[in-house]
Structure 1
């Protein structure tokens, strides 16, 4: 029985075929919604990344036989980090738009001062932003968005295999253009409530001019607050299709970024 012998090239090839996909997966997990939330324990994230990398290995094509710690290996590592971050950031922008919409609604309701710790990102945000952020996360999971993330990650190795070539200038330009969804998406979600609350405030102003003896500060804030919560309740059914369109657009944008089209 002959002893098993492994050449340096074989060891390097096996190491690279697992290491570089793992780098891409972990880079995306660091920022992508659901998998990248701050409350998710780091050991669990690493375990999920390892298991997902093992599942993706059969889809790998022509992994370069390059030593990971060489100059070319470091270039490949940086490219995998950029690809993973770009994919995760494209989806995270949708959730940032929801948080910005919540902040705008909170300011219109007079709740801009009411801050709470966001369990998803670990930062202080207005309570309405936290509500919309949690709502968006639950909607995303109900849409099987977490499964779509895994599917897109597997397809990314077909669009951009592991190599020294990463996202091109066209892909970076697409990502920069997609960043505008923070503002357009926030406006699409928040504009009905903002306009309605503006009408409420104008009505209160007219009442104050007509009856100066009214104490606007004692009745205006409760009315605005109740109107805001009522509008938020009525808006939920309309927020769902807007959020779904933004998520679908985000996945389409990820494909364009990876393909550089």
Structure 2
């Protein structure tokens, strides 16, 4: 005999996981087939249902109560996906800052995978971060955090409090700060180059410093980025750990 409360639990879990996959970093590319997203959401729901389901759970308020619970679960999944995706946005911010300093910011390109305009370095760092994310088993961390979210925020336990909003704001501010810190070596090198070119322009006014500055900024900026590349693995390992801790902080603020 069909247990309607358990069927409602299954649907609510599916809604949270589907919202997470829609907003999270795993399937951010629009050319990923919708059937793949739906299949993974259903598979994760089947795996997590025996762990999350509670025999004492009862849907309050009938159909209207179920609709409110479904909206809460969608909001919870979107929040989890948004927070986890901010780590990759810090890499995008860092790349955009580097492009501004090196002179690549005007050379935007259309990224067919994302369906939008992107700068060269920001897209490189984003894709590199995605590769490192899977190499470091970050997707396993996300699945474990998604399962843990049902303990921190139960199916009927979402509460939009000031603590949760403040946690999201802090995570967002931290993302911008991380982007600036990652781009700091390139910014420092280009700044030193500009200072030297300014002094050179004062001492040798006949030299075309403006034309000399463009290739010099690009060359030294790319050289600095190539020196930084081997260290990005260590940086992103720290970012993955920070993503997990930020996710738990936000989830605790939502309960």
Instruction: Name the TM-score, length of structure 1 as normaliser.
Output: 0.89
1:60-111 per-residue CA deviation (whole Å, 9 max, x = no partner) reads 1327333897221111111111111111111111111110110000010011
Shift of 1:237: 2.7
1:49 aligns with 2:41: yes
Contact 1:26 1:46 in 2 (8 A): yes
Contact 2:109 2:119 in 1 (8 A): yes
Equivalent of 2:137, from 144, 162, 165? 144
Query: Which position in structure 2 is the counterpart of 1:3?
Result: none
Q: CA RMSD in A?
A: 2.0
Runs (5+) with no aligned partner, structure 1? 1-5
Q: 1:29 aligns with which of 21, 25, 37?
A: 21
Shift of 1:258: 1.9
Separation (CA, whole Å) in 1 of partners of 2:59 and 2:176: 43
1:216 aligns with 2:180: no
Stretches of structure 2 lacking an aligned partner (at least 5 in a row): none
Aligned pairs, number: 252
**Residue 187 of structure 1 corresponds to which residue in structure 2?**
180
1:69/1:111 CA distance change after superposition, 3 Å? farther
Are the counterparts in 1 of residues 167 and 250 from structure 2 also a CA contact under 8 Å? Answer: yes
- Tell me the distance in 1 between the aligned counterparts of 2:62 and 2:30: 30
Distance 1:90 1:214 in 2: 50
Aligned-partner Cα distance in 2 for 1:109–1:203: 15
Of residues 61, 66, 73, the one that matches 2:59 is 66
Counterpart pick for 1:17 among 9, 12, 15: 9
Q: Cα 1:93–1:80, aligned 2, differ >3 Å: closer, same or farther?
A: same
The answer to whether the Cα contact below 8 Å between 1:116 and 1:130 also exists between their aligned partners in 2 is: no
- Tell me, in whole angstroms, the C-alpha distance in 2 between the residues paired with 1:66 and 1:155: 22
1:1-261 to 2 correspondence within 5 Å?
6=1, 10-62=2-54, 64-66=57-59, 70-118=63-111, 121-163=114-156, 165-169=157-161, 170-260=163-253
